[in-house]
């Protein structure tokens, strides 16, 4: 009599039927199903084949185990081991049900989900536009100074070694990105120009230019620093941040009295100095 027929008919001892034919095989099946759960997608036909095969195997195991239990009772008269095997069969159903459900869920092809980091980078990039002039000599930034802008501008400058000027049209943005772009401006010796408005963090970039110019209708807007959040940010002090950028402005030969006015202006208001004030302070050429 073969192995499968012997188990099915309850020929094996209860110990062998339980520990070898039932428990050991179930453990092996558990690891196989766990490996299949590692796949993101499983064709429904494959799922059906696996579940049917496992259901058939489980039925064979359970029937053989019950029959081995009946043989055990007939020979020994003790029901305790038999009730234990019945309990094991019920527990096994509860253990394997989540695996079968998990396999079914993998037959449903999920729509593509953009990674969170990629999504945020795309949304930030949509808040500004970078444009190269036809001669590749001027790079124009329109929009917010958003996270990631420094890296993108840096790569563009590396790829286009002919860029000599950065034109700005921005109402501000992330001060740390502004500092990063300002560093690129100084490192590459770029001129800066404003065609429309350059306010808040944008002015850090503008002031860093080798030569700074403005269109007739352009304006620069300055204000005292503030945190755009109601929560405290660890290790960030407004006074220290202002002092850091004041030192940068002083390094660009901006008048001290003008800087006092900038960093004493209310954070809720933007000061737009006129052209004469900008010239007198050394912000733009006389």
Largest CA distance in the chain: 112
Q: Is 224 helix (H, G, I), strand (E, B) or coil?
A: coil
pLDDT computed for residue 235 by the predictor = 58
Calpha distance 19→5 (Å, rounded): 18
pLDDT computed for residue 89 by the predictor = 94
Give, for 169, the enclosing helix (H) or strand (E): strand 165-170
pLDDT 10s digit of each residue in the chain, 286 long? 689 999 999 899 999 999 999 999 999 999 999 999 999 899 999 999 999 999 999 999 999 999 998 888 888 877 888 898 899 999 999 999 999 999 999 998 878 788 888 888 889 889 999 999 999 999 999 999 999 999 999 999 999 889 999 999 999 999 999 999 999 999 999 999 999 999 999 999 999 999 999 999 999 999 887 655 444 445 567 778 888 999 999 999 999 999 999 888 777 789 999 999 999 999 999 7
pLDDT computed for residue 236 by the predictor = 61
Query: pTM of the full predicted structure?
Result: 0.63
pLDDT computed for residue 81 by the predictor = 81
pLDDT computed for residue 276 by the predictor = 95
pLDDT computed for residue 109 by the predictor = 82
pLDDT computed for residue 230 by the predictor = 42
Q: How many residues does the chain have?
A: 286
pLDDT computed for residue 231 by the predictor = 43
Tokens describing residue 99 = 């695996």
SS (H, E, C) 251-276: HCCCCHHHHHHHHHCCCCCCECCCHH
Contact 223, 267 (CB under 8 A): yes
pLDDT computed for residue 173 by the predictor = 92
């Amino acid at each position: 009599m073969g192995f499968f027929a012997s188990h099915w008919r309850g020929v094996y001892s209860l110990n062998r039927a339980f520990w070898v034919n039932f428990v050991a095989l179930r453990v092996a099946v558990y690891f196989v199903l766990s490996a299949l759960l590692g796949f993101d997608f499983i064709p429904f036909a494959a799922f059906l084949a696996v579940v049917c095969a496992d259901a058939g195997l489980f039925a064979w195991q359970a029937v053989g185990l019950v029959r081995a239990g009946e043989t055990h009772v007939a020979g020994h008269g003790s029901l305790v081991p038999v009730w234990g095997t019945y309990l094991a069969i019920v527990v096994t159903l509860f253990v394997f049900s989540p695996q079968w459900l998990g396999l079914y869920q993998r037959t449903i092809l999920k729509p593509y989900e953009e990674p969170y980091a990629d999504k945020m980078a795309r949304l930030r990039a949509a808040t500004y536009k970078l444009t190269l002039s036809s001669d590749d000599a001027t790079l124009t930034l329109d929009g917010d100074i958003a996270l990631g802008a420094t890296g993108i501008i840096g790569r563009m400058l590396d790829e286009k070694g002919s860029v000599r000027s950065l034109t700005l049209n921005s109402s501000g943005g992330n001060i740390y990105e502004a500092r990063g772009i300002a560093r690129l401006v100084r490192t590459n010796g770029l001129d800066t120009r404003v065609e429309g408005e350059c306010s808040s963090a944008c002015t850090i970039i503008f002031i860093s230019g080798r030569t700074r110019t403005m269109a007739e209708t352009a304006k620069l807007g300055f204000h005292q620093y503030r945190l755009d959040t109601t929560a405290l940010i660890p290790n960030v002090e407004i006074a220290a941040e202002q002092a850091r950028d004041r030192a940068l402005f002083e390094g660009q030969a901006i008048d001290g009295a003008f800087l006092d006015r900038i960093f004493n202006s209310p954070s809720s208001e933007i000061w737009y100095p006129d052209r004469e004030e900008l010239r007198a302070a050394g912000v733009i050429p006389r």
